[in-house]
Each structure stands twice: as C-alpha cells, then as structure tokens.
Structure 1
Amino acid sequence: MGDSCCGGTVDIRALEARQRRVLMIVLAINLATFVMMLAAAIYSGSSSLLSGSLDNLGDALTYLLSLAVIGASMRAKAKVALIKGLLIFGAAVAVAVQIGWRLAHPEVPIFEAIGIAALLNLAFNGICLWLLTPYRHGDVNLASAWECSRNDVYEGFAVLLAAAGVWLFEAGWPDLVIAGALLLMFLRSSWRVLRNAWSELRVSGGR
C-alpha cells in the first residue's frame, strides 16, 4: 500500500516537472517572438503583426501564471484561468484600438516584413503547440495554455494571408481585414477560457 502511494506521489511530481519544463520553453519562445513581431510591426506598419505581437505577450504572461499554479488546487488554477481569459480580452481591445487608428491613418504596410515575421512566428508557435498538445485535455490550467497556443498557430496562417493580400492588391485593407478576424478569434477564445474557468470555480467552490 505504501509503495503504491509513494509511486503515485513520484508520478505526480514527475508530471509536474514535465509541465514546468514545457511551460518554461513556450514562455521563452513567446517572449522572443513578441519582441520579433513587435519590431516587425513597427517597421512594416502592419496591424495584423501588431495584434500577433500583443497576443504573444499575453501568452507569455499566461504561461508565467500557469507555471505559478502547477501543483496548486483546482480552485487556484481556475482563478488563474480567469486572469488568462481577461488577458486575451485585453489583447482583443488593443487590436480594436489599433484597427481604429489604422482606419483613421491608412497606409500600405511592407508585405515582405509581414511575411518573414509571420513565417518565423508560425514555425515557433507550431513547436509550442506540439509541446502543449499532450496536455490539452488536462486540468483547466494546461488546457487554457493549449488554447492560447492553438490561437497562435491560427494567427500565424492569418498573418501570412495578410501579407499575400497586401502584395496582391497593393493596399492596406487586407491587413486590416485579417486584424479584424484575429480580433473576433481573441473574443471567442476569451469567452471560452472565462466560461470554463468560471464553471471550474463553481464546482470547486462546492467541494
């Protein structure tokens, strides 16, 4: 009986150690891609790149929060997931403001910079998604981290489409259309994370 109990404790600690390693890797990747995407957004004048960079910064913060509650109670993890949902919503608000500013100050972004940055971002976020996929059906903490990473991959393809649209039409509106689509994706993801976290809080509050 004691051996079985100790074995279970060792398994849990090993799982938590693996989760910490994965989150530390994806945290580092998202911080690096945030800096790269932000620099490319400023250089190119792209709203879709700026929305992607804000998303990567928000993800880095959520992964940091996820690290903080590994091994904590489900209620603590659900509270952190609520914060993650609010961070995603904050990114959506920032994107909306940026779109409004670009509509008032139209310009044609540099499609080469958009395309190169989007390709790099997509490659690194693909690695993050691969690392987090084994935990996508785990607790609310890791599941919400996987949701953020999946959004990043969608975002990568969308920004590539924006670069292609800017090149094809020689206009800035494809970039704004993609930024608007990313805004809707952020809002949907925020709702999903907040809903799941709130449900978990209600369940854990009754225990």
Structure 2
Amino acid sequence: MADSCGCGGTVDVRALEAGQRRVLLIVLTINIATFAMMITAALYSGSSSLLSGSLDNLGDALTYLLSLAVVGASLRAKAAVAVVKGLLILGAAIAVAAQIGWRLAHPGVPIFEAMGLAAAVNLAFNGLCLWLLTPYRFGDVNMASAWECSRNDIYEGFAVLLAAASVWMFDAGWPDLVIATVLLLMFLRSAWRVLRSAFKSYREAA
C-alpha cells in the first residue's frame, strides 16, 4: 500500500514538472517572437516605452529559459536562478533609464501608429502567457517568479497603449517618456520583489 502511494506521488510530481516544462516552452517561444516584433517597432517608431517593453520581453525570454532549466531541481538551485532573474529585471531597468536619458537629450515625437499596433499585439500574447502561468503562481519560487514577470507584461502592455494614445492626442513625445519612467519604476519594484523572495528561499534551503 505504501509503495502504491509512493508511486502515485512520483507520478504526480513528474506530471506537474512535465506541465511546467510545456508551459514554459510555450511562453518562451511567444516572448522570443514578441521581442523581435517589439524591438523592430521600437526602432522604427522611436518610442522609449516600446523599447522598454521589448527589453522586458527579452528579459522574460531569458527568465523562462532559466525557469525551464531548473524544473525539478533543488530549492537551492531554483532560488539561485531566481536571483539571476531579479538581476535581469534590474538590468532591464538600467537600460530603460539610459534610453530615457538619451531621449531627453534628443527629443522627438514617436510614430504612434507603430506604437499602438505593436503594443496591442504584444498585450494579446502577454495575456495568453499570463493565463498559461496563472495555475502555477503559488508554486515554487521558480514558477512564481515566472508568473511575476508575466503579470508585469500586462501592466507594461496597457502602459504602452496609453503612451501611444497620449502621443497621438498631444502630438508630443513627453507622454512616451512619462510612461517609460513609470515602467522603469515597475521594473525596479519587480526586481526587488523577485530578489527578496529568492534570497528568502535561498536561506530556507541552506
């Protein structure tokens, strides 16, 4: 009887890990594709907020790749990878800050049509990613941090849409910079949350 229970537990864990790998592979593929689309649109439109979104997608793709690598690994390994994820988010924040500084020195009005279209497509795919990851949001630190990144993508998507509408309404570049600054603060907050959770899990696993 005990053997039967143990076997069932093993099967359940393997099924859970297989499901995690499948979901992470899907969202990884989506984020690679949306990064390519977003970076192209950001360079074409001259939008700082769109560029921040593309960097976010690149960071997420790397995050999902790392998450995929440690499915089934020890809590200590997952916590260590979560630290790397937090540092990736922090790196994205630094890149966005540098872009904002460059735009302040070289003002211009972004092409709102390209911004809006790219942001709408990106938001739709990010919604799919969040839906796929939501069942795992209260799982281990590995999947929880992946869900955190996906949730941030939803906020970022709406923010860039707002930036595009504001650029069109005011025919000016400052709304784009304002939204990019808001996204920068979001990145910093997310990096803090992920790193705090990762270090906590790392101490518990020690």
TM-score range with shorter-chain normalisation? over 0.9
Matches within 5 A, 1:49-60: 49-60=50-61
1:125 counterpart letter in structure 2: N
Alpha-carbon shift at residue 132 of structure 1 (Å): 0.2
2:64 corresponds in structure 1 to 63
Alpha-carbon shift at residue 204 of structure 1 (Å): 0.8
| Identity across the alignment (%) | 78
2:102 corresponds in structure 1 to 101
SS at match of 2:190: helix
Alpha-carbon shift at residue 6 of structure 1 (Å): 0.5
Counterparts of 2:137 and 2:15, CA distance in 1: 18
Alpha-carbon shift at residue 23 of structure 1 (Å): 0.1
1:123 corresponds in structure 2 to 124
Alpha-carbon shift at residue 133 of structure 1 (Å): 0.3
Q: Which 4+ residue blocks in structure 1 deviate beyond 2 angstroms?
A: none
Counterparts of 1:130 and 1:203, CA distance in 2: 29
Q: Which runs of 5+ in 1 are unaligned?
A: none
2:196 corresponds in structure 1 to 195
Alpha-carbon shift at residue 177 of structure 1 (Å): 0.3
**TM-score (structure 2 length as normaliser):** 0.99
Counterparts of 2:180 and 2:30, CA distance in 1: 22
Alpha-carbon shift at residue 165 of structure 1 (Å): 0.5
Q: Give a deviation string over 1:159-179, Cα, whole Å, max 9, x none.
A: 000000000000000000000
2:88 corresponds in structure 1 to 87
The answer as to 2:36 corresponding to 1:32 is no
SS at match of 2:71: coil
2:196 counterpart letter in structure 1: R
SS at match of 1:65: helix
1:162 counterpart letter in structure 2: A
Counterparts of 2:57 and 2:193, CA distance in 1: 18
1:161 corresponds in structure 2 to 162
Q: Which runs of 5+ in 2 are unaligned?
A: none
Alpha-carbon shift at residue 152 of structure 1 (Å): 0.2
Alpha-carbon shift at residue 157 of structure 1 (Å): 0.1
Alpha-carbon shift at residue 119 of structure 1 (Å): 0.2
Counterparts of 1:9 and 1:198, CA distance in 2: 28
The answer as to 2:185 corresponding to 1:184 is yes
2:136 counterpart letter in structure 1: Y
SS at match of 1:106: coil
Counterparts of 2:199 and 2:11, CA distance in 1: 31
2:150 corresponds in structure 1 to 149
The answer as to 2:96 corresponding to 1:110 is no
Alpha-carbon shift at residue 63 of structure 1 (Å): 0.3
Aligned residue pairs, count: 205
Alpha-carbon shift at residue 184 of structure 1 (Å): 0.1
Alpha-carbon shift at residue 36 of structure 1 (Å): 0.2
Alpha-carbon shift at residue 118 of structure 1 (Å): 0.3
**TM-score (structure 1 length as normaliser):** 0.99
The answer as to 2:195 corresponding to 1:170 is no
